[in-house]
Each structure stands twice: as C-alpha cells, then as structure tokens.
Amino acid sequence: MSFPKKLNFITGNRNKLAEVRAIIGNGVEIESQAIDVPEIQGTSEEIAKEKSRRAAEAIGGPVLTEDTALEFHALRGLPGPYIKHFLEALGHEGLNKMLDSFDDRTAEAVCTFAFCSGPGAEPILFQGRTEGVIVRARGPAKFGWDPIFEYQGKTYAEMDKEEKNRISHRYKALVKLQSWLAEEHEREV
C-alpha cells in the first residue's frame, strides 16, 4: 500500500472536518466529500468497516470514515453507535431522562476511524475512547451531544476547541491514525 498524502474524509459535518484537520495538522491533506452510504446495524467496528468499504466503492479510491458512539454504562452500551438517532428523537434532556432511574451516569465516548485504501481493500480501524459522565446540558449546543458529556468537571461544549482536541475520543483515535500514517511513510522512504 502506498502512503496516502491526501485523505478523502467522508463527512458532511463541518465540525467533524474542522476537528480532524486541527488534530491531524500538517503533512496530510484532508479533503471532505459528503457521500450518503447506508449504515448497517451492528457494533461500532462493524459499522465503521462497512461504511468505509461502501465509500471506497462509491469514489473509487482511498477514504477515511468515522463512526461515533456514546455508550451509557447503566444501559450496557446503549445508545452506542445509534447516538445520532437517539439524540434526534429525544434531545439532550431525553438522553438524560434515560438515565434518571439509575445511579450510574458514567459513559464512554467512542470514535472509530476506518481507512480503506480503495475498492475491495480491507479497512483498517483506529479507535479512541474517553470515559465521562452524562450530565444536564451545559455549554453551547453546537455539536451533537457535547453539552451532556462531562470529562473532568467540564462538558465537551464548555471546553474550547484546543482543550477538547487534546483529550477527546476523536483525538485518541486520530493519534493512532497519525502513528500508522507515519509508519506507512517510513516504509516508503
């Protein structure tokens, strides 16, 4: 496999694109394409792999996809990779109400990036996890469930971008991707 100097990040979410560019930094050009690929039901890993396979087929080349999950410990991992749909249906307050009858409000934010070098290739996964607590919404409601996920006393929404980009689940997954990219580059040199 040749070292990718440009990654086609398959997303229509400007906030995710900005975070990926800020975390990856220089060295690799990140372009964005919004391609509607159907999502299967399954684990975060299964969903990420299938999404990247389908996106690579759709554009006929290398892609980077991302799947985000929010796993409530009291609900044994739900809503997990379906957090987007739960958030759309219930909102921040509804997500909190799901946990109101439990003592355990801990959760894990999970980000799974999948790189697929092209049609027919096996995707490679890079996953990051951050432990936190589900709280009543605090901070600007600009980015998904950020206002209800608290890490060390602050919600993601209360953090400035730089602070969040140093500790988030997305950051942890992208560090693994960066390391892999560096290894691939070294193999070619």
Give the pTM: 0.89
| 160 labeled part of a ligand binding site | no
| 161 labeled part of a ligand binding site | no
Is residue 48 very low, low, confident or very high in pLDDT (cuts 50, 70, 90)? very high
Identify the CATH number of the domain in which residue 117 sits.
Answer: 3.90.950.10
C-alpha distance from residue 31 to each of 6, 77, 95, 107 (Å)? 7, 32, 33, 31
| 164 labeled part of a ligand binding site | yes
**Is 1 a domain residue?**
no
| 68 labeled part of a ligand binding site | yes
Q: Domain of 116?
A: 6-188
| 144 labeled part of a ligand binding site | yes
At 111, is the secondary structure helix, strand, or coil? Answer: strand
Which pLDDT does position 36 carry in this prediction?
A: 81
For the chain, what is the domain count?
A: 1
161 vs 173: which has the higher pLDDT: 173
| 51 labeled part of a ligand binding site | yes
| 14 labeled part of a ligand binding site | yes
**Is 104 a domain residue?**
yes
**Is 72 a domain residue?**
yes
Which pLDDT does position 185 carry in this prediction?
A: 66
- Residue 186's φ and ψ, nearest 5 degrees, are -60, -35
| 3 labeled part of a ligand binding site | no
| 92 labeled part of a ligand binding site | no
Element (H, E) at 119: none
